[in-house]
Amino acid sequence: MREDAALVLFSGGQDSATCLAWALERFAHVETIGFDYGQRHHVEMVVRGVFRDRIAREFPGWAPRLGPDHGLSLDALRAVSDTALTRETEIAMQADGLPNTFVPGRNLLFLTFAATLAYRRGLKHLVAGVCETDYSGYPDCRDDTLKALQVAINLGMERRFVLHTPLMWRDKAATWALAERLGGTALVEAIREDTHSCYLGDRAHRHPWGYGCGTCPACELRQRGWDAWRAAHV
């Protein structure tokens, strides 16, 4: 395996875009992977390519490091799940205390498939934009979950993958700050314009922090982080 090569789980959202920049700063070769699982906000799969093209165009220091993009279809995940991200249903909290935007097994499957691809491609490092500090209550975003999964993947594949979670202990304001530190105003602007976080897939409404409905949990998190980060600059 290449010690200087990474595979980034790149959904097309703010967090994974920031992680892509983080990886490009650290590794000589960086590939990306995205998953089409019939998500309600499928537009995130569209903006992925736009953002990658912008990175290659506007960041000449990173461009030579940016390797191929890989897209995988996981239609079975939609077939077996019944959530607000895979069905046209109202976003709400469930009786078990989890939001109905939680897709059971999603991150576990994503990382397992990513590791399978990394195995074939000879990439040692896996990078994911999961976060326990400022998140939607998803148990598969927790640090303990990711550490356990790394152990299971390494044992099951007889490899020594390293799973990186650069945002695990950062809130959304700190994520905006990290983006600025990595790529300055140009990266912040690229994330604002060419990433997508809104659960409803709304690209019709533009806000200071980017595009979205402005009311779903993902938009609210992104807005609060933007406002807090901007307030710290005043």
For residue 231, the model assigns a pLDDT of: 95
For residue 103, the model assigns a pLDDT of: 73
Q: State the Cα–Cα distance between residues 37 and 108, nearest whole angstrom.
A: 14
Q: Does the model's pTM come out above 0.85? A: yes
Within a domain: residue 202?
no
For residue 138, the model assigns a pLDDT of: 83
Q: State the Cα–Cα distance between residues 92 and 107, nearest whole angstrom.
A: 20
* Distance in angstroms between the alpha carbons of the first and the last residue of the chain: 46
Residue 75 sits in which domain range?
Answer: 2-197
Within a domain: residue 222?
no
For residue 48, the model assigns a pLDDT of: 96
For residue 233, the model assigns a pLDDT of: 77
- Residue 63 CB partners (closer than 8 Å, separation 6+): 55, 56, 57
For residue 73, the model assigns a pLDDT of: 92
Report the CATH number at residue 164.
3.40.50.620
Within a domain: residue 220?
no
For residue 95, the model assigns a pLDDT of: 64
Within a domain: residue 167?
yes
Within a domain: residue 211?
no
Nearest Cα to 224, choosing from 133, 89, 139, 93? 133
Residue pLDDT, tens place only, 65-120: 999 999 999 888 777 777 655 666 766 566 666 665 667 788 899 999 999 999 99
Within a domain: residue 80?
yes
For residue 96, the model assigns a pLDDT of: 61
For residue 15, the model assigns a pLDDT of: 95
For the four alpha carbons of 127, 129, 134 and 136, in that order, the dihedral sign comes to negative
Within a domain: residue 213?
no
Q: State the Cα–Cα distance between residues 231 and 150, nearest whole angstrom.
A: 37
Q: State the Cα–Cα distance between residues 51 and 72, nearest whole angstrom.
A: 18
Number of domains, the chain: 1
Within a domain: residue 133?
yes
| Ranges under pLDDT 70 in the chain | 83-88, 90-102, 134-136, 234
CB atoms within 10 A of CB 192: 19
For residue 89, the model assigns a pLDDT of: 72
